[in-house]
Amino acid sequence: MAIDVAAVRRSLPILDRELDGHRLVYLDSAASSLTPEPVLDAMDRYYRWSRSNVNRGVYPLAEEATDLYEGARTVLAGFLDADPTGVVFTKNATEACNLLAYGYVRAHLGPDDVLLSTVMEHHANLVPFTQAAAAVGAEVRHVPITPDGLLDLDAAAELLADGRVTFAAFVHVSNVLGTINDVPRLTRMVRDANDRAVVHVDGAQAAPHLPVSFRDLGIDSYAITGHKMLGPTGIGALVARPELLERMEPFLTGGDMIRDVTLTGATWNDVPHKFEAGTPMIAEAAGLAAAVGLLEGYGMAAVRAHERELTAQLLDALGTVAGVTVHGPKDVDLRGGAVSFALDGIHPHDVGAMLGSRGVCVRVGHHCTKPLMRCLDVAATTRASSYVYNDVDDLEPLVDGLEAAAAFFAR
């Protein structure tokens, strides 16, 4: 069933805002999505009605809070077709990648290992691993991209050929190019080259927009972040095979993550709790569960279909503006709804300022992908990105704003 955009929009009072007399047009969901009222309500209900800590009290209220929190784990696991025992809540995707970099790469890899990354990674899925590789003396190799913004799998095959890659970390959907990478295929390539390799995927831009089955992807771990999928800020997750979590060292230590503590040492709690030190983000977990509930209500196939169509319309609309060059794949089957582009001769900051003055929110800058900017030979891009609350009516203000920018900054 198609998404009832009008109904979604009714749950987002922020969209009623006017900015200097302009309707708010939010095209920056790749940076952070808007938060529908049912998500706010779920968090509010915890604070107003079930407020207490988790995993501690024996009174009913505390059990309610624990159920909310652990229930969210189950809900998220169901959404991603993963084992709840493998779901570790983190602050965001960045922390999920760091958890893996510290708990696995730094703890288990050494100078004989090679890490595989790509040039299209968000800094969140790059820096923790390059730092970890440097710390253990491992080499890092980077899969390049083709001119149309796809991972160059022939080049990947060469990088894998000597069988030394024991850890791979790459993005599922690029936050700049929109490219949907063929995760199962690259994963098979990595494993065929070395069957001990661990494969990690950054799903921050995929889980909000595509049906994702962790099991079917065939990978070892997956990072997500709640605030890009209708959820609140402050919660994300590392979704992993429980066996991988078992092999990992703790990242943060302290309360809740222990089994026993002496004055000089400690033993660790079972996974996933071993990685959740201290009081967790309880309200945010409740909010994330509500967000997942909404997405499941729409159906992720419908979410994808909606965005696929809107992206096609967006690409067409951008095609009507003189001087626009879109980065990344033009085929909507190969891409998600984050569309980066250049407006000839005009710096993205100026484009963003013009659009912003007309109520159109887009992201300008390097999008935390500096190596990719260097590959594209640009300093920055303008990026419009859509979600379930956008429709074709949001494209006209964008196009008008781009034309206004072209006229205003014409030399």
Partner 1 sequence: MSMEDLYQEIILDHYRKPKNRAPELADEAVHVHHSNPLCGDEMDLRIRVVDDRLDAVVFDGEGCSISQASASAMTQAAVGRELKDALDLAEDFRRMMHGDDPARPDDLGDGIAFTGVAKFPVRVKCALLGWMALRDAIQTFERGASAHTVTHEE
Ligand X SMILES: Cc1ncc(COP(=O)(O)O)c(C=O)c1O
Residues designated catalytic = 368
Q: Are 256 and 111 in contact (CB under 8 A)?
A: no
373 binding partner 1? (CB under 8 A):
yes
Give the Å distances, CA to CA, from 3 to 55, 95, 294, 344, 368: 38, 32, 11, 35, 31
Q: How far is the CB of 101 from partner 1 (least distance, A)?
A: 23
Q: How far is the CB of 349 from partner 1 (least distance, A)?
A: 4
221 binding ligand X? (CB under 6 A):
no
92 binding ligand X? (CB under 6 A):
yes
175 binding ligand X? (CB under 6 A):
yes
Of 308 and 347, nearer to partner 1 (C-beta) is: 347
Q: How far is the CB of 280 from partner 1 (least distance, A)?
A: 31
Q: Are 202 and 171 in contact (CB under 8 A)?
A: yes
Q: How far is the CB of 94 from ligand X (least distance, A)?
A: 3
Q: Closest Cα partner for 193 from 218, 223, 161? A: 161
The interface with partner 1 within residues 304-363 (CB under 8 A) comprises 347-350, 353-354, 356-357
Task: Give the residue, chosen from 28, 64, 113, 202, that forms a contact with ligand X under the rule CB under 6 A.
Answer: 202
87 binding ligand X? (CB under 6 A):
no
Of 50 and 205, nearer to ligand X (C-beta) is: 205
Backbone angles phi, psi at 280, to 5 degrees: -85, -175
Of 44 and 350, nearer to partner 1 (C-beta) is: 350
72 binds, among ligand X, partner 1, none (CB under 5 to 8 A by kind): none
378 binds, among ligand X, partner 1, none (CB under 5 to 8 A by kind): partner 1
Task: Give the residue, chosen from 18, 20, 195, 333, that forms a contact with partner 1 under the rule CB under 8 A.
Answer: 20
Q: How far is the CB of 233 from ligand X (least distance, A)?
A: 8
Residue 282 pairs in a beta bridge with: none
365 binding partner 1? (CB under 8 A):
yes
CA angle 23/25/27 to nearest 5° reads 175
Of 177 and 189, nearer to ligand X (C-beta) is: 177
Rounded-to-integer distance, Cα 239 and Cα 220, Å: 8
Of 91 and 241, nearer to ligand X (C-beta) is: 91
Of 3 and 343, nearer to partner 1 (C-beta) is: 343
Of 8-16, 174-182, 201-209, 378-386, which part binds partner 1 (CB under 8 A)?
378-386
259 binds, among partner 1, ligand X, none (CB under 5 to 8 A by kind): none
204 binding ligand X? (CB under 6 A):
yes
Three-state SS sequence of the chain: CCCCHHHHHHCCHHHHCEECCEECEECECCCCCCCCHHHHHHHHHHHHHCCCCCCCCCCHHHHHHHHHHHHHHHHHHHHCCCCHHHEEEECCHHHHHHHHHHHHHHHHCCCCCEEEEECCCCHHHCHHHHHHHHHHCCEEEEECECCCCCECHHHHHHHHCCCCEEEEEEECECCCCCEECCHHHHHHHHHHHCCCCEEEEECCCCCCCCCCCHHHHCCCEEEEEHHHCCCCCCCEEEEECHHHHHHCCCCCCCCCCEEEECCCCEEECCCCHHHCCCCCCHHHHHHHHHHHHHHHHHCHHHHHHHHHHHHHHHHHHHHCCCCEEECCCCCCCCECCEEEEEECCECHHHHHHHHHHCCEECEEECCCCHHHHHHHCCCCEEEEECCCCCCHHHHHHHHHHHHHHHHHCCC
Of 214-222, 254-262, 280-288, 402-410, which part binds partner 1 (CB under 8 A)?
402-410
384 binding ligand X? (CB under 6 A):
no
The interface with ligand X within residues 100-129 (CB under 6 A) comprises 122, 124-125
Of 373 and 406, nearer to ligand X (C-beta) is: 373
Q: Distance between alpha carbon 230 and the CA centroid of its chain, in Å?
A: 12
Q: How far is the CB of 405 from ligand X (least distance, A)?
A: 24
Of 57-65, 88-96, 129-137, 150-158, which part binds ligand X (CB under 6 A)?
88-96
17 binding partner 1? (CB under 8 A):
no
Contact set with ligand X (CB under 6 A): 92-94, 122, 124-125, 171, 175, 202, 204-205, 225, 227, 236, 368
Residues near partner 1 (CB under 8 A):
20, 347-350, 353-354, 356-357, 365-366, 370, 373, 378-380, 408-411
